[in-house]
Amino acid sequence: MKTLRLSATLMLLGSLTLGMAEVSVDAQIGAMKGASAQDRVRLMNEFKTTLSTLSQEERETAIEKLRSSMATDGEQPKVRERVRERARINQMDETRERQENQRMNQNQVGSQFMQQNPGITPDPSGTPNRFMNK
């Protein structure tokens, strides 16, 4: 009997907590909409704290609510496009940096080889010496 009563109490408290979390999330999102920049930062930090107490499913729902309420219909595609563009630029920068590192490594190895083997000269009729841009 005590176990049944305890289980019922825990279930009731759990459902009340979930209901209050839903109201709390909605209230926090509503408060962020009209807040100034400083207040929005404070409210967002409180929202993050609330998110940390929610389950994975509740967290996903709350984040989706926040996204849909903060971005207008015309804004979301623009934001997505900016994110994609930024990702492309980052990828191009990484590729360029990788190529530059590879080129520097090849020049360094070639320079070391030429210093260790001073008697070896490249064939002028063949491929030119590409080490150290010579």
pLDDT at 19 over 50: no
User: Cα–Cα distance between 21 and 8 in angstroms, integer?
Assistant: 20
CA dihedral 28, 32, 38, 43 (to 10 degrees): 10
What's the one-letter identity of residue 15? S
The tens digit of pLDDT for each residue in 1-13 reads 677 676 667 666 5
The pLDDT assigned to 43 comes to 87
pTM: 0.39
The tens digit of pLDDT for each residue in 31-59 reads 887 778 888 888 888 888 888 888 888 88
Are 79 and 42 a contacting pair, CB within 8 Å?
no
The tens digit of pLDDT for each residue in 71-95 reads 655 566 777 888 899 999 999 999 9
Token readout for 9 is: 């109490």
pLDDT at 16 over 80: no
